[in-house]
C-alpha cells in the first residue's frame, strides 16, 4: 500500500476542485501576503505583489472572459515547502477569441501553511501571447470601466 498523500497536496487539490466548481469563497485564506510571477498567459499582470494587488488582478482578469474562464488544476507534487500543479486554463475573450493554455503552477508555502510566492509557466506561451496581443485594446477598455 502506498503512502498517504502529503497534506499540502490534499489542500491544494481541494482548492483546485473548488475553483473548477466556481467556488472562490476560500480564496481569502489562500495567502496573507503573496508575490506572483506569471507567464504571458496572465496578460499584463506579469508580476503581482501583495494580497490586495493579487485580488485586484483576479477581479480584473476573470471578468474579461465574461463568465467563460475555467481552470482545471491537478496538484502533482507537494511537500512542506511547495506544491506543483498542472492547470488547464480556458476561456473566450469578448470578441470570441479562444484562450487555451496548460500551465505549471509552483507555489511556495510559508511556515503558516499559506502560499507566499507563486510562479506560473505557460506551456502554450506562443498562443497565449498571441491572444493578448489580439485583445490588448479590449482588455485596456475593460480595465478602465
- The CATH number covering residue 114 comes to 3.10.450.50
pLDDT in tens, 87-136: 999 999 999 999 999 999 999 999 988 899 999 999 999 999 999 999 99
**Confidence tier at 26 by pLDDT (50, 70, 90):** low
pLDDT of 30 above 80: no
Asked if 113 and 8 count as a contact pair (C-beta separation under 8 A), the reply is yes
Number of domains in the chain: 1
Q: Does any domain span residue 65?
A: yes
Q: Does any domain span residue 2?
A: no
- For residue 25, count other CB atoms closer than 10 A to its CB: 7
Q: Does any domain span residue 54?
A: yes
Nearest alpha-carbon partner for 87 in 121, 60, 112: 121
Say what the pLDDT of residue 59 is: 87
Q: Does any domain span residue 67?
A: yes
pLDDT of 55 above 90: no
Query: Kind of pairing, strands 115-122 and 35-37?
Result: parallel
Say what the pLDDT of residue 141 is: 86
- Full domain range(s) for residue 73: 7-144
Q: Does any domain span residue 69?
A: yes
Q: Does any domain span residue 71?
A: yes
Q: Does any domain span residue 1?
A: no
Q: Does any domain span residue 37?
A: yes
Amino acid at each position: 500500500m502506498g503512502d498517504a498523500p502529503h497534506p499540502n497536496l490534499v489542500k491544494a487539490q481541494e482548492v483546485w476542485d473548488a475553483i473548477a466548481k466556481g467556488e472562490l469563497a476560500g480564496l481569502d485564506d489562500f495567502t496573507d501576503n503573496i508575490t506572483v510571477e506569471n507567464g504571458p498567459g496572465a496578460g499584463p499582470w506579469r508580476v503581482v505583489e501583495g494580497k490586495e494587488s493579487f485580488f485586484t488582478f483576479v477581479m480584473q482578469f476573470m471578468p474579461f472572459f465574461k463568465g467563460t474562464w475555467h481552470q482545471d488544476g491537478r496538484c502533482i507534487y507537494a511537500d512542506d515547502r511547495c506544491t506543483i500543479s498542472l492547470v488547464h486554463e480556458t476561456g473566450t475573450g469578448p470578441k470570441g477569441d479562444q484562450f487555451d493554455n496548460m500551465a505549471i503552477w509552483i507555489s511556495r508555502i510559508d511556515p503558516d501553511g499559506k502560499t507566499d510566492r507563486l510562479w506560473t509557466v505557460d506551456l502554450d506561451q506562443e498562443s497565449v501571447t498571441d491572444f493578448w496581443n489580439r485583445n490588448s485594446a479590449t482588455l485596456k477598455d475593460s480595465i478602465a470601466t
